Structure 1
Amino acid sequence: MASYYVDATLGDDSNPGTITQPWKTISKVNSSSFNPGDKIYFKRGEIWRERLTVPSSGLDGNPITFGAYGTGDKPKISGADVVTDWSGPDVNGEYYKSGFATGPYVVLRDGSRISKGTVGSLGANEWGYDSGTLYLGFDPSSHTIEAGQRTSPITINGKSYITIENITVYGGNNRADTDAAGGNICIYGASNNIILNYITSYGCHFSGIGIGDSDVSDITISNVTVYDTLGAGIRFASGVTNSTLSNFTVHDCAMLPSDDGAGGNGGGVEIISDCDNISVSSGEVYNTGAGLTSQGADPGVAVYESTNIDITKVKIHDCYGGGAYYRSVTAGHPSSGNFVYNIVCNNGNTSMPSGSILVGLRAQGVTDARVTVNVYNNVFCNNLVDYVGQNDRMGMVYASGETTINFKNNILKDPIGDYSCYMFIRSSVTYVASNNCYHTTGSNNRWSWDFSYKYSLSEWESVSGETNSLNQDPSFVDPDNGDFRLKVGSPCIDAGTNVGLDRDFNYNPVPWGAGVDIGAFELIRRITVLSLSHNSLDCRLNKWTDLSRFHNHGVPHSGVRPCVVAPGIMGYWFDGNSGYVDCGNNKSLDIIDTITIKAWVKVKGWTGSNQLLVSKGSPSAYSLFLANNSNFRFEIRTGSGFQTLDSLVQPVSGRWYHLVGTYNRALPSDNLKVYVNGAFKNSMDNTEGVITNDEPVYVGRHPTGLYFNGTIAEPCIYNRALSADEVRENMYRSPIYRMLRGLPHSMIYTKVPWKQTQGGIYAP
């Protein structure tokens, strides 16, 4: 396994490709043969105006990786060339450049696509092309103009076990492969086991990422951003199977006037033409289809004649063609999947052409091509509901034809439009529904069954067979600003039915409370999820009792034993070699957005390695530890890696320290904080959220080792971030603090400043 480096400025293709003697061009990469496990790194801050055609395949466990090295912006691969030396203006006031052998389908001004017009009458923001000459309707002298010249700057054709990560690609000029339709990244031709990670794709003709071929499978796409494309941002087509898309953002697709009729459908994510077993999760789609005013736009997420397609935890908003659909129109080509824990809001626009069906969700099959979809725990709010130009009723959720829709635990609020209603269901549909919530602040409190309005929930339930639903305000936290969590006291709390789902939109455990909540969010009662007792009756050789209601009791292993911290106050001593406590992997410990980890710690000695105090899994979702530089640290794992916060405190052996690490994703800054002995010590920014795992929480070690040498007492985990005042209050109330102050255990806590002598804590 070898590593090769490419530097567009300082490289030379006659070099051996080492980090000190890098190659220069992608052409050199394309003409080379690589072995499984090889890595090819492009230098950050550089740009290549070439086409990367992956030349070799890896093997299972040893993929060939294309990535980045150095510092700065991600390396860029462009399908467009910079155009200079313009002439003009001509008699039409247009500027021009001749000599193009390849006609552009995309032109970018300062990095953004501009609309195509008609040569001779170009508008101020338009370009045109005729007979080898590119024209602009504005003076280009103060702009950077790039014209598309290469199809799909990254192409994978018939290759497997490939990873591409940390690269920006733009300017793709694709009109060649209509199946994959990948303007910037195109995957086709019996390719499988491909990973795309931390990719940015923008400014191209057709899709930002296009995957299409009946022999393509096992494509994993994560942590990608796609925008400013003619077609769908991300497109699976023509039989792609067994693939995933997660942690993504797609926006501003088909937004230009010239995108109308140019070949793209303008959706955010499209899965079409006999694809199977594809999961789309944890993403956002917005601002799509504005340019398609005559042909009409697809919705934000479109599933067309494809099966086992799961759309989960996706926010779809401000899409001109509506929210989402599952559709089939050709016999023998059904559609199916799960549409769960999504937010569908503010979609639809009256600029769409007559006959457009604008809804939050559309499910529509035909004879011998049935659509079957489970629609659970979604929020549909403020969507334009319209059968454009037809002056006829339409529902925020629309189902017709040969369709089965299981519809439970959803909230439908404020459908918009003169003929709008919550549900539009035809009698041909198999409709199984319960435990939904309907509400409007307007006058459209109605449903439609076979074109007949129903004006009360009881009337609707009578004709549709729906049961146990509500016609009440769901009481969102702040719907005007996109916060669709439930307020305390919402009628939707615990009012749903269990459909077998275990994580809500924010990845919180389901249910949280007496039952499942209706909507996309469980109301999380911010409580302690782990609190290991200091009571002598709770600290035993075979069990360290958890005082939270989740029973995350610790099981001691090997070189660990309970010890007396003070009369009646217990902790555990860890030997630094094999001792640890296993607190299990209850779902209450899977925390994403807000967390506090706290413990009293007394270090006995140093091992030369990190010593874990509290940690969850490997790689650790979150941890509190003594670093090998002898500082206490707090750490979480996010999509961009480990976020490690140093306490700036080096402990003294034999002294007690009160350690607290907190994380609050919702804060605008200083999301991670660390406190020592009640005093704030350090902070850092990160709003990505914790990447959790299904592994247990350990006290005193990491799953790979890294044992702690010393004593730990009162370890706690909260599913909220304690404030600075709460951190201090928590410490003052601890019997360990009172013991160290020499106060009676029964005495009310004190905030008197204190210091401690030999053998205990020192608080400056």
Structure 2
Amino acid sequence: MKQFILYLSLLSLLMTACAEQSVLNGQIEQESTSQRLKEIDRKAEKMKRKVLRSKSEVEPEGTIYYVSADGDDGNDGLSPKSAIRTLDRMNALELQPSDGVMFRRGDVWRGRIYTKPGVTYSAYGRGEKPRIYGSPYDAAQVGEWVETATKNVYVYSEDLPDDVGTLVFNAGEQVARKITQRIHPDGSTTNLFTGEPFNSGEDLNVDLDFFHDYQGSHRLYLYSSQGNPKERFSSIELLTHGTVVQTTDNVHIDNLCVMYGGSHGIGGSTTKGLTVTNCVIGWIGGSILSPAPKTGGRPSRYGNGVEIYGGCGKYIVDNCYIYQIYDAGITNQNQENISDASRSMHNVA
């Protein structure tokens, strides 16, 4: 009996020692993981600063056109002093391979860039990178937010036929949550997150949840528990459906800041020779790719930082800062005979 008790005591001590060692190993592993994450963060922050400070060193061999926010679309665009002004005017230029388009640093444009084959798009001047926003306007400055019959639910006055992926408040301080509907076989609809009945934007009940009736009234509804969104926030960007920079063959995108698009930041279908360097790409995606089937189901959403839907020989992304992307930062899809020699990704934070 004494031997049995001694055996139990030794077994208990052994189990205690093993448990203590396991806890110690866990603490060491956690500390090691924490240190590794801090080191990764440090390197990423260093890389980010490098991207933000990168200079424009591209030298297109053909004609160079200049675009500035205070330019004039009546100008020829052939010098900084005769810069053109709008993206529409820039997209209408009869650009040839080896030409270049330079956007003035520190300026902001809203809309899309439709690239031309063999053309380089970059920056000139000093200051922050030129910003290309997919958001049609700042909803804290344009339009009105009108409270509905449901307390704290506001409807935005402007017509928005293109689905909104999300809303970004005060340059990223806060972000809205998009509510979508699940359609059931009997035709009823529920909140995809909670499973509660959800028929319209006036059924919102959580702060900064929003619903966009893009297929019907084109109206956007937002729940704001702290008053009118226009008074609550200094800026509200709308990530509307669409790719901000649409690519084609042998295009070089350099030193641009591409933001607030509901689909992709930079992207296109099967192509060749896409190079993206020294760019900042952020707050991209979330809009609906395909609506919920009428027979029942849920919608699908999408959005990538840099995307090729298909193949792309000589696909290079280098020295870029990509963040807050709904799906992937960089991707190519549905490509056959992939060769790593034709694709390159370097120094991407």
- TM-score class normalised by the smaller sequence: 0.5 to 0.7
Counterpart position of 2:326: 230
Distance 1:121 1:92 in 2: 10
The one-letter amino acid paired with 1:46 is D
Name the TM-score, length of structure 1 as normaliser.
0.29
CA distance in 2, matches of 1:150, 1:39: 27
The answer to whether residue 164 in structure 2 is matched with residue 104 in structure 1 is yes
- Which residue number corresponds to residue 15 of structure 1? 75
User: Aligned match of 2:275 in 195, 201, 225?
Assistant: 195
Output the CA distance in 2 between the equivalents of 1:184 and 1:67. Answer: 15
Contact 2:163 2:241 survives alignment (8 Å): no
Match of 2:306 in 1: 209
2:209 match = 126
Instruction: Provide Cα deviations, 1:409-460, integer angstroms capped at 9, x if missing partner.
Output: xxxxxxxxxxxxxxxxxxxxxxxxxxxxxxxxxxxxxxxxxxxxxxxxxxxx
CA distance in 2, matches of 1:44, 1:150: 26
Q: 1-side partners of 2:241 and 2:80: how far apart?
A: 28
Report which structure shows greater RCO (CA 8 Å, sep ≥6): 2
The verdict on how the C-alpha distance between 1:103 and 1:212 changes in structure 2, with shifts beyond 3 A counting, is closer
**Whole-Å separation in 2 of the counterparts to 1:116 and 1:135:** 10
Higher helix share: 2
1:142 maps to: 232
Q: Does 1:73 align with 2:173?
A: no
Residue-by-residue CA offset, 1:29-49 (whole Å, 9 max, x unaligned): 221222332221001111111
SS at match of 2:132: strand
- Give, in whole Å, the separation in 1 of the partners of 2:347 and 2:280: 13
Q: Percent identity?
A: 23
1:122, distance to aligned residue in structure 2 (A):
3.6
Cα 1:203–1:210 shift into 2, 3 Å: same
CA radius of gyration, larger in: 1
The 3-state SS of whatever aligns with 2:89 is helix
1:642-699 per-position Cα deviation (integer Å, ceiling 9, x unaligned): xxxxxxxxxxxxxxxxxxxxxxxxxxxxxxxxxxxxxxxxxxxxxxxxxxxxxxxxxx
Query: What letter matches 1:66 in structure 2?
Result: Y
Relative to the length of structure 2, the TM-score reads 0.62
**SS of residue matched to 1:32:** coil
Write the letter of the residue equivalent to 1:96: V
* 1:173 matched to 2:228: no
Alpha-carbon spacing, 1:194–1:210, altered in 2? closer, same or farther (3 Å): same
What residue number does 2:243 align with?
A: 152
User: 1:655-666 to 2 correspondence within 5 Å?
Assistant: none
Deviation per CA, 1:609-657: give whole Å up to 9, x if none: xxxxxxxxxxxxxxxxxxxxxxxxxxxxxxxxxxxxxxxxxxxxxxxxx
**Could you list the per-position Cα deviations for residues 702-742 of structure 1 after superposition, in whole angstroms to 9, with x for gaps in the alignment?**
xxxxxxxxxxxxxxxxxxxxxxxxxxxxxxxxxxxxxxxxx
User: SS at 2:74's partner residue?
Assistant: coil
Q: Describe the shift of the 1:101–1:39 C-alpha distance in structure 2 as closer, same or farther (beyond 3 A).
A: same
Q: In structure 2, what is the equivalent of residue 45 of structure 1?
A: 106
The 5 Å alignment of 1:316-715 reads none
Hey, what's the Cα distance between the residues in 1 that align with 2:168 and 2:145? 18
Partner of 1:246 in structure 2?
A: 346
Structure 1 residues 199 and 136: CA distance shift in structure 2, 3 A = same
User: Would you say the 8 A contact 1:48–1:76 is kept in 2?
Assistant: yes
Supply the distance in 2 between the matched residues of 1:220 and 1:22 (Cα, whole angstroms): 30
Q: Which of 59, 65, 88 is the aligned partner of 1:4?
A: 65
Which amino acid counterpart does residue 231 of structure 1 have in structure 2?
D
* Secondary structure in 2 matching 1:80: coil
Say how many residue pairs are matched. Answer: 230
| Paired position in structure 1 for 2:145 | 87
Cα distance, 1:222–1:125 mapped onto 2, change above 3 Å: same
Q: Give a deviation string over 1:479-510, Cα, whole Å, max 9, x none.
A: xxxxxxxxxxxxxxxxxxxxxxxxxxxxxxxx
| 1:553-611 CA-partner distances (Å, limit 9, x unpaired) | xxxxxxxxxxxxxxxxxxxxxxxxxxxxxxxxxxxxxxxxxxxxxxxxxxxxxxxxxxx
Find the counterpart in structure 2 of residue 520 from structure 1: none
Q: 2:244 corresponds to which letter in structure 1?
A: P
- Per the TM alignment, residue 150 of structure 1 is displaced from its structure 2 partner at its CA by 4.8
RMSD over aligned CA atoms reads 1.8
Deviation at 1:85, TM superposition (A): 3.0
Cα displacement string for residues 285-325 of structure 1 (whole angstroms, at most 9, x for unaligned residues): xxxxxxxxxxxxxxxxxxxxxxxxxxxxxxxxxxxxxxxxx
Spell out structure 1 runs of 4+ moving beyond 4 A: none
